[in-house]
Every structure is written in structure tokens, then in C-alpha cells.
Amino acid sequence: MDKKNDVNEMDKKEFIETEIKSDSLLKKTIQSILRWVLIVLGSILIGGLLVFFTLYYPAQQELGLADTNLRNARETMITQAEQIASLKTENEIQRRNLENSNETIITQDEQIASLETILENANEIIISQDNQIASLQTENETLQTTLVSTTLHLDVVNTLSGLRGASLAVVANDYVGARLYLFKASEVLDTLSRRLGTDQKDVFSAMQKSASLALIDVQKNLKSAKPELDQLINNLLQLEDNLFSTP
């Protein structure tokens, strides 16, 4: 009897050690996956910030400066136009009253010609600055589109992170973790649905329904939620490829 008890005790110890090693391996796997997910999220966020501070913000400053220069040039043009009108009026008065003052008239004609040249140059400057403003506005619209795309991509990655976390929690038999990840993924799915509008309405309605079903499965039978989660992850990966893959 003592020998049988000793054998049973040894079997129990081996079983416990095996379980501990399995749990440790699973935890390391989860930690590794989460670490890479955080790295990817950080890279996307840093990329979005770089786009904003290196392109979008300087372009806004250039646009404001060009607008100020345009207003100054227009004010200068108005002032010079008024000067031309004044000189022309004075010239006509001198022509009527001082017929012998030809030298003065010639001088004033030269002044008018000079001012008209300045006015033409001012018009050319205005045209050039209008072109610059149009170019900056186009660049600004492009940067805004890039910023929106980066934000959408970050939301997709966050949703994938939540779904993968829920899947790992199901594998680890972690009911609380699975529910928490699913709730977070559902919230980001709602945000994505609002941002993308009606174009992807049917797709996101199906995904939101799948997330709800997975949450129900988790509450009823934790392991039964795994197929639904895997299908939801595959659908979201396909959507990510359709929206953000480069041709």
C-alpha cells in the first residue's frame, strides 16, 4: 500500500509540474503577442503625429503667411491705384491751367507710368500668391485625408487587438478577460462604423452582430466563442486589407 501511495504522489507531482509549465508558456505567449501589438500601435500613432507636425502644421502656417501677404499686396494695390487717380486728376488740372508747364506734365506722366508698372507688378504678385494659396490648400486637403486614413487604420488595429486578446483569453479560460476585450472591441467597432459612414454599413452591422454573438457565447460557454472570434478576426483582417493595402 505504501508503494502505491508513493507512486500516486509522484504522478500528482508530475501532473502539477506539467500544468505549471503549460500555464507559464501560455502567459509568455500572451505577453509576447501583446508586446508586438503595442509596438504596432505605437508605430502607427508616431507616424500619424509625424505627418501632423512635419507636414500638416507647417503647411497651415505657410497658408496663413501667404494670406497675410495677399492682403498686404491688395492694400498696396488700392493705395497705388488711388495715387494714380490723384496724379491723373492733378495732371488734367495742370494741363488746363498751366499749358506752358510741359516739363512738369512730362514728369508726372513718367510718375504715372512708373506707378502703373508697379501696379502691374503688384497684380503679378497677387496672381502668384493666389496660385501658392491654391497649392497649399490642395496640400492641406491631402494631409487631412492622410490623417483621417491613419486614424481609421489605428481604430482597425485597436479592434483587432481587442479581438485577439479575447481569443487568447478564451484559450486561457479567462472569462473576465474575454468579456473585457470583447467590450472594448465592440466600442471601437461602433466608432469605425460612424466614421466610415454608409459605404461599409452592412459590413460593420455583420461584425457588430458577430461580436454580440461572441459575447453571448462567452457568457454561456467560454470555449464555444472561439470559432466566432476567429471568423470575426478574419473578416476584420480582410477589411483592413481592402481599405489600407497599397496597390
Query: Tell me: the pLDDT tens digits for 108-129?
Result: 888 888 888 898 888 888 888 8
For residues 113 and 237, give the distance between their C-alpha atoms in angstroms, rounded to a whole number: 69
The answer to whether 158 and 188 have CB atoms below 8 angstroms apart is yes
The answer to whether 51 and 82 have CB atoms below 8 angstroms apart is no
Nearest to 59 by CA among 144, 149, 125: 144
The amino acid at 105: I
Quick: pLDDT tens for 209-239: 878 788 777 878 878 888 888 888 888 888 8
At residue 197, the pLDDT reads 61
At residue 10, the pLDDT reads 63
Backbone angles phi, psi at 246, to 5 degrees: -85, 135
**pTM metric for this prediction:** 0.44
At residue 98, the pLDDT reads 66
Write out the three cell numbers for 58.
507647417
Quick: pLDDT tens for 135-172: 778 777 777 777 767 887 888 888 888 888 888 888 88
For residues 49 and 105, give the distance between their C-alpha atoms in angstroms, rounded to a whole number: 63
Whether pLDDT at 183 is above 80:
yes
Which one is predicted more confidently, 45 or 59? 45
Quick: pLDDT tens for 52-96: 788 777 777 777 777 787 688 778 878 877 887 887 787 678 777
Spell out the residues 6+ positions from residue 172 whose beta carbon is closer than 8 angstroms to its own. 26, 30
Spell out the residues 6+ positions from residue 241 whose beta carbon is closer than 8 angstroms to its own. none
Whether pLDDT at 26 is above 70:
yes
Nearest to 231 by CA among 206, 197, 196: 206
The answer to whether 74 and 126 have CB atoms below 8 angstroms apart is yes
**119, 121, 124, 129 alpha-carbon torsion, rounded to 10°:** -100
